[in-house]
Amino acid sequence: MAFDKFDRVPNHYAGAIIQRIKDFRLEVGKRSLNPTRLTVGEIDFLIPRHFGFCFGVERAIHMAFSALQDHPDRPIHLVSEIIHNPLVNNDLKDRGIDFIYDAEGKRQIEQEQIGAEDIVMIPAFGTTIEIEESLQRSGLNSDSEDYRNRFDTTCPFVSKVWDRGHELGREGYTILIHGKFNHEETQATHSHTKQHTKTLVVLDRCEAARVADYINGDVSDGDFETEFSGKYSEDFDPNTDLERIAVVNQTTMLAEDTKEVAAIIRDAMRKKHGLDNLEYHFADTNDTLCYATNWNQNATKGLLEARPNVAVVVGGYNSSNTSHLVEICSEIMPSYLIGDRDGLVSSERIRHFDIESKELVSTDHWLPSQLPMTVAVTSGASCPDVLMNGVIERIAGFFGYQQREIELGLNELQIFEPNPD
């Protein structure tokens, strides 16, 4: 099984076009967040400075393929999808890895079907304490250092959030988690953190504002149980457990949104307890934000200055970080989330995932009717480069451009520089 030069992911996830673009950015050495411009005929493709697999995803995939390589005779299971990308998950299934839970959280393999000699891998999102305990009841030593080093693919940045939550919990803070409650990572963070302190999950600034209302006594605490039903730890009392708060996040949320959630809670604490007492009642947790998520989001914002005609975002439909890239691009241009090149039906029609309705839809006349045009292409942190590669080839092919024209463009790559006003 061939691995690339970083010894992290198999070569079949790489894309020749994308690798050339990455190599170009390394060669020029600029730290600029301006995108790379690939000119193919009369199409300018703009590729952000950062996109695709992050360190945590690369690490998880490498560990899964290493387990397959090192233990060909042992049954291997994943607790659930290793990352939110169907190409990778289906690839692992085809190679013999079973998933204990499906994407909807329904159990596919019962506890008694897992033997003590089986390997059970924990996905990049982490997993809950309850699931870990069920693995241990199956005879797996899943808590040992050796097991975690080889089979626990939890992203180190997710683990960092748990460690920080543990630390702040011991100091007496309630942990407010900014995340999507049903997301695997948020479920895991909630489960781990509530072992040490009281926890509460909020989705967005609106829910954070409601928590601020409870902090300042602007609403009756009798409504809290209904409003945040199921999203807080056992015996949570808004009268006492909102006195000291630290905010952490699901690492794939928009960093700016997490900062805004934290600012809302900080302002509520300052209003109630005064500036002199703020540090005691509110903990600064900016150090839990994931750098890779931040980089991808900021690089995607770098696309906006170029004002492309359209943006294509490639990734899993259930990928939180990918949907946030669509949100960023949608601020100034039509933006479409597709799983792979098959979503590009023709130059006239695109089959894409609507992040609001959560449905696959078709849109006609998605590309400009005439050349020249500028198309932004990016991908989420769980998307293999080969999928982005296919999207560029398909769009170029709609206008008669083939490998020769793409190669000419790759030989003349540029960093986009906005026109000074």
Q: Where are the domains of the chain?
A: 11-53+292-415, 55-151, 157-289
Classify burial at 85, counting beta carbons within 10 Å of its beta carbon; exposed 0-12, middle 13-18, buried 19 or more: buried
* Secondary structure E strands in 250-381: 282-283, 310-314, 335-338, 349-354, 359-364, 373-379
Number of H helices, E strands in the chain: 15, 15
* Secondary structure E strands in 186-301: 199-202, 245-249, 282-283
Catalytic residue among 58, 81, 132, 185: 185
The pLDDT of residue 2 is 46
List all residues 6 or more positions away from 260 whose beta carbon is below 8 Å from its beta carbon: 205, 208
Please say if 185 is a catalytic residue: yes
Classified by CATH at the fold level, domain 157-289 comes out as: Cobalt-precorrin-4 Transmethylase; domain 1 (3.40.1010)
**Cα–Cα distance measured from residue 42 to residue 227, given in angstroms and rounded to the nearest whole number:** 53
The pLDDT of residue 286 is 76
**Cα–Cα distance measured from residue 49 to residue 33, given in angstroms and rounded to the nearest whole number:** 5
**Cα–Cα distance measured from residue 122 to residue 64, given in angstroms and rounded to the nearest whole number:** 10
The pLDDT of residue 9 is 80
The pLDDT of residue 250 is 93
Coil, helix or strand at residue 359: strand
Q: What is the largest CA-CA distance in the chain?
A: 68
**Cα–Cα distance measured from residue 80 to residue 89, given in angstroms and rounded to the nearest whole number:** 9
43-47/76-78 β-pairing: unpaired
Where is 47: in which H helix or E strand? strand 43-47
- Smallest CA-to-CA distance from 51 within 22, 76, 93 is with 22
The pLDDT of residue 4 is 42
- Give yes or no on whether 11-53+292-415 and 55-151 have one common fold: no
The pLDDT of residue 284 is 80
The pLDDT of residue 420 is 63
Cβ–Cβ under 8 Å, residues 281 and 262: no
The CATH number that domain 55-151 falls under is 3.40.50.11270
The CATH number that domain 11-53+292-415 falls under is 3.40.1010.20
User: Cα–Cα–Cα angle for 393, 397, 403, nearest 5°?
Assistant: 60
250: left (phi over 0), alpha (psi -120 to 50) or beta: beta
CA dihedral sign of residues 235, 236, 240, 245 = positive
Going across the sheet that includes 310-314, the strands are 359-364, 349-354, 335-338, 310-314, 373-379, 43-47, 36-40, 414-415
Burial 381-404 (b: 16+ CB within 10 A, else e): bbbbbbbbbbbbbbbbbeeebeee
Cβ–Cβ under 8 Å, residues 32 and 49: yes
The pLDDT of residue 7 is 56
pLDDT truncated to tens, each residue of the chain (421 aa)? 444 444 568 999 999 999 999 999 999 876 788 999 999 999 999 999 999 999 999 999 999 999 999 999 999 999 999 999 999 999 999 999 999 999 888 999 998 899 888 999 999 999 999 999 988 888 888 778 888 899 999 999 999 999 999 999 999 999 999 999 999 999 999 999 999 999 999 999 999 999 999 999 988 777 898 999 999 999 999 999 999 999 999 998 888 899 999 999 999 999 999 999 999 999 988 767 787 888 899 999 999 989 999 999 999 999 999 999 999 999 999 999 999 999 999 999 999 999 999 999 999 999 998 999 999 999 999 999 999 999 999 999 999 999 999 999 999 999 998 776 5
